[in-house]
Amino acid sequence: MPISFNAIRVGKKYYLINYSERVEFEVLSRLHNDNYLLKDLNSLETYQLIDLVKYGKGTDYDIDELRRA
């Protein structure tokens, strides 16, 4: 079940599916409101959450906590 942006926690790892593209990231810090500084777990690039969902926020995305076995 997807979570909302206000349920995101610093230090946790999440995945986001936006228009069927999957991105895995760790939350580094909260910037303001629903914006966070993220680190991509594959490329180690840092970016902001608003840039990641800019064109797909709404029913087009699914975000949940990343659980690795």
pLDDT along the chain (69 residues), means of 10: 83 88 93 91 94 71 81
Amino acid 32: pLDDT: 86
Amino acid 4 reads S
> Domain ranges in the chain?
5-65
Cα(first)–Cα(last) distance of the chain, in Å?
Answer: 18
Output the pTM of the full model.
0.84
Can you tell me the distance from the alpha carbon of 8 to that of 46, in angstroms, rounded to the nearest whole number? 17
Amino acid 58: pLDDT: 59
User: Please, are residues 25 and 14 in contact by the beta-carbon 8 Å criterion?
Assistant: yes
Looking at the domain that runs over 5-65, which CATH code has it been given?
Answer: 2.30.30
3-state DSSP call for residue 53?
helix
